């Protein structure tokens, strides 16, 4: 990121620096690949049920965003090795490719290769013992733990953003969608009027999450302040019929893909004074998860509100909140104890204060530390 800023942007101008891309990979040959080559297996994998999905055989396939990511990762290897036999992709070569990437990219590359190898094994192209990815591990998980991932927004960030973007603006509506619905980017960018339902006489947000491929539905009541934001946006005529926020074309608000939606929100955040490289859409969601944990929501409640299927996620936020609250309450007890001791000293006479507990050494000793004479 620092290198990109030095080349393309001013110091602190993360928005323009993030627009830069790596050098494009050389175009692959248009001719049909020769059987047995790495490119031949890649073509076969992309036409398989593992890639496209077929529920009749129990294959869900890959999401469009995952396909796009893995296409870039695999084709970066095919530029030099595509016409060579698959055996060229040895464990040593894969390990070298992983070392040349960041921990996150290395982990994604390993996942992409393992998925293709799994298809090759199922189709009988490769024996399980010949899997070149066996024994390889990436540092993606560790790097994510150490970096902390996306940074949660602070109250100062939110105050600064709201001051720049008042109610009735598209920027404010995008923020309020993230802030009051707790949705992920993949759901926030397609969130619209059809996802507002009346449930038990209350207006609620109800949407099947993209990450679960529609298997998990999030249902949360509409926050009073979010309702106010929607009314202001409707009065300003910036709400679409299909989606609340998106691309305005000839007076109509049309859906955007999630990447473009995220870049648009990042631009508004930078203009609003929230100009840090790791503060994005997901940071708003993480901040709200922290608030829910401090509000003593249970694991089940947080899983329902945030669309999580793994109880480890709410447990992480709840444990963090409990740790901080225990530290605060523990200090309150220490302060109360210290003040109680000062009060006892005040009630004692001057002679007792001089001699402490009457031993004449001028040291105050707690009763529990005094040995009774037998």
CATH of the domain at 140: 1.10.150
Statement to judge: residues 161 and 124 lie in one domain: no
Look at residue 348 and tell me if it is in a domain: no
CATH of the domain at 167: 1.10.443.10
Statement to judge: residues 306 and 161 lie in one domain: yes
16 pLDDT above the threshold of 80 = no
pLDDT of 23: 53
Look at residue 243 and tell me if it is in a domain: yes
Statement to judge: residues 176 and 305 lie in one domain: yes
pLDDT of 12: 52
What digits encode the pLDDT tens for the residues 277-311? 788 899 999 999 999 999 999 999 999 999 998 89
Domain stop point among 147, 166, 184: 147
Look at residue 227 and tell me if it is in a domain: yes
Statement to judge: residues 167 and 267 lie in one domain: yes
Statement to judge: residues 218 and 134 lie in one domain: no
What digits encode the pLDDT tens for the residues 70-97? 998 888 888 888 898 998 888 999 999 8
- Token code pair at residue 115: 């998925």
Domain stop point among 147, 176, 196: 147
Look at residue 82 and tell me if it is in a domain: yes
Q: Domain of 129?
A: 20-147
Domain stop point among 125, 147, 169: 147
Statement to judge: residues 192 and 267 lie in one domain: yes
Statement to judge: residues 103 and 82 lie in one domain: yes
The Cα 88–Cα 82 span in angstroms is 10
Look at residue 9 and tell me if it is in a domain: no
Asked if 88 and 41 count as a contact pair (C-beta separation under 8 A), the reply is no
What digits encode the pLDDT tens for the residues 315-332? 999 999 999 889 988 998
Statement to judge: residues 65 and 159 lie in one domain: no
What digits encode the pLDDT tens for the residues 140-162? 767 666 666 788 999 999 999 99
- Number of folded domains in the chain? 2
The Cα 235–Cα 355 span in angstroms is 77
Statement to judge: residues 135 and 179 lie in one domain: no
Judge if pTM exceeds 0.75.
Answer: no
Statement to judge: residues 143 and 167 lie in one domain: no
Look at residue 326 and tell me if it is in a domain: no
Give the closest residue to 310 by CA, choosing from 319, 296, 300. 300
What digits encode the pLDDT tens for the residues 188-208? 999 999 999 988 888 999 999
What digits encode the pLDDT tens for the residues 201-243? 889 999 999 888 878 899 999 999 999 999 999 999 999 999 9
The Cα 96–Cα 100 span in angstroms is 6
Look at residue 65 and tell me if it is in a domain: yes
The Cα 183–Cα 222 span in angstroms is 13
348 pLDDT above the threshold of 90 = no
């Amino acid at each position: 990121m620092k290198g990109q800023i030095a080349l393309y942007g001013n110091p602190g101008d993360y928005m323009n620096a993030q627009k830069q891309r790596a050098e494009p990979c050389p175009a692959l040959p248009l001719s049909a690949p020769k059987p047995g080559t790495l490119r031949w297996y890649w073509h076969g994998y992309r036409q398989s049920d593992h890639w496209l999905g077929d529920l009749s055989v129990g294959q869900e396939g890959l999401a469009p965003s995952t396909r796009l990511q893995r296409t870039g990762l695999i084709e970066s290897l095919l530029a030099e090795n595509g016409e060579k036999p698959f055996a060229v992709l040895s464990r040593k070569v894969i390990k070298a490719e992983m070392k040349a990437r960041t921990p996150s990219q290395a982990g994604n590359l390993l996942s992409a290769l393992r998925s293709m190898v799994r298809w090759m094994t199922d189709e009988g192209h490769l024996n399980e013992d010949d899997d070149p990815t066996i024994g390889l591990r990436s540092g993606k998980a560790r790097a994510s733990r150490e970096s902390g991932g996306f940074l949660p927004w602070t109250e100062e960030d939110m105050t600064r953003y709201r001051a720049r973007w008042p109610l009735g603006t598209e920027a404010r509506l995008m923020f309020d969608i993230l802030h009051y619905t707790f949705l992920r980017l993949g759901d926030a960018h397609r969130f619209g009027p059809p996802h507002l339902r009346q449930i038990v006489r209350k207006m609620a947000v109800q949407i099947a999450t993209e990450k679960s491929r529609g298997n998990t539905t999030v249902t949360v009541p509409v926050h009073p302040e979010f309702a106010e934001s929607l009314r202001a946006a409707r009065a300003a005529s910036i709400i679409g019929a299909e989606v609340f926020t998106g691309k305005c074309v000839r007076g109509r608000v049309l859906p955007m893909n999630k990447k473009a939606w995220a870049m648009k929100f990042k631009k508004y955040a930078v203009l609003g004074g929230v100009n840090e490289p790791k503060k994005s859409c997901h940071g708003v969601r993480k901040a709200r998860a922290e608030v829910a944990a401090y509000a003593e929501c249970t694991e089940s409640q947080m899983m329902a509100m945030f669309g999580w299927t793994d109880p480890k996620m709410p447990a992480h936020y709840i444990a963090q909140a409990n740790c901080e609250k225990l530290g605060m309450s523990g200090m309150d007890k220490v302060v109360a104890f210290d003040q109680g001791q000062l009060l006892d000293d005040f009630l004692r006479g001057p002679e007792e204060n001089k001699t402490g507990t009457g031993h004449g050494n001028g040291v105050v000793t707690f009763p529990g530390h005094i040995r009774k004479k037998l």
